[in-house]
Every structure is written in structure tokens, then in C-alpha cells.
Amino acid sequence: MTLEKQVRLLKLYTGTLTVFFVVFLAAGFQESRQRFREIDVERINIIEPDGKVRMVIADKERQPDPIINGKTFKGARKGDKSAGIIFFNDEGDECGGLAYSGQAVGGNTEAGGALLFDQFHQDQTVGIMYSQSGKRKSAGLHVWDRPQTPADVLVEQMQAIAAMPDGPAKQAELQKMKDAQARGELGAHRVFVGKGSDGSAGVTIADRFGKDRIVMVVDEKNSAQLRFLDDSGKVVYSIPTGPAR
């Protein structure tokens, strides 16, 4: 091969490489959009342009660990993982999600589903939930009170107590947490609207300590009643009047 022919081939190769590089570089600065008719995937991360995760769609094995107030709690879900969607707020903290499960175990049905929304830096504050265990089924809208204390602080306190050796000191710390719960300092379940596992349907409103105070229900025998309770759970007034059903 003559020197002149070698130079021409080198120029051709260099030109082709330059064109390819320019096309590749230009494509890198363009928004890519692809269309699929079907895709199999174990996890999808929805992210902002800066890479911050805003939503994760995943099977139960690839669900992310909880992130609360910027802290990741590895293994916190443990056996409670379910397939579904996890939502993340502008700070990157978990702020709710959609979870569902269902299977027959030894001839007994175990199933559930929940769409939950969390208070900022806290646990769920409103949710629509369904659960089933055998023939017992419940479904409805739930509302919770949550404290201002960030959930990560409470989780770390419980983890520290769990790591303590068994004994009087550990029991004392556990009692402090129970007392705080009784005072309503750790939050409480306040409202339920739906169908209970006993076959009744109605509305239950609790005080800030989580104690039921108003119950409006149609029971499994189709009897309707409105009950008002004191803080000890005693019915103080009911419509129609008479003993609580």
C-alpha cells in the first residue's frame, strides 16, 4: 500500500470517528425517551433532575430501607416488606406509600393493602387500609395523631432500649415509653370510618389518648346505635337508650 493511500485511509478513519463522536456527544445532551410495550423489572426509581429519589416502585425484596429526617434505618422493615410504592418528600425522606399482599397459608387467607401518607418527619397520619385473616375482614379510612418529635428520635430510643441487657433498668425505660404512650405523647389512632372485622360498619372517634369516645355503628345484626363513652370506656349515653349492644 502506497503512502498516499495510507494517508487517505487515515483521513477517512479520523473523519468517521469525529462524526461518530459529535453525534454521540449531542445525543448525551438531549432528553431520551423510549417506548416499551412490556417490561419486566424488580425496581424502578423515579428521580428529580438532580438525582434525588422521589418514588420507588419495587417488589418486596427490593423495597428501600426507611429514610427519616435524613437517616437511613437499615433492616427496619425486616419481615414487613411488601411489594408496592414508596413516596419521598422534597428532602428525600419517606412520606408515605402503597403496599399490598395476599396469600393462602394452610387453607387460611392472609391479605392486606394500604395507601398511607406520613406526617412530616413522622409516621402515617392518614390512610386507607384493608386487612383479612381467614373470614375476618376489615376495611376503612384511618386517621392518626402524631407527635412533633421526629420519628427517627423515637426509633433510636426504642433501638437503644432493645439493645439494653434484660433487667430492672431496661424495664424502667420500657415503662417510660408506655407511660408516654398513655399520655398521648407518642400519638394515637383517632378516627376510623369503615367496616370492622366483627361484621359491623360505622365511625369511631377517639380522644387524644386513643380511647374511643364516640361510636356510631350498625352491627352484624343490622342494629344501629350511637354511643358516647367516658375516658374509662363506659357508655354514658346512647341512642337508642338502653344497654350497649
Concatenating the DSSP letter of every residue in 170-236 gives: HHHHHHHHHHHHHTTTT-EEEEEEEE-TTS-EEEEEE-TTS-EEEEEEE-TTS-EEEEEE-TTS-EE
Work out the average pLDDT over 119-124. 94
Identity of residue 62: R
48 secondary structure, DSSP code: -
pLDDT tens digits for range 12-43: 545 554 545 444 445 555 567 889 999 999 99
Q: Which residue has the higher pLDDT, 158 or 14?
A: 158
Average pLDDT for the chain: 86
pLDDT at 227 over 90: yes
Q: What is the pLDDT of residue 75?
A: 75
Binned at pLDDT 50, 70 and 90, residue 211 comes out as very high
Q: What is the pLDDT of residue 7?
A: 45
SS3 label, residue 64: coil
pLDDT tens digits for range 56-115: 999 999 999 999 988 998 877 766 778 999 999 999 999 999 999 999 888 889 999 999
pLDDT at 10 over 50: no
Identity of residue 188: A
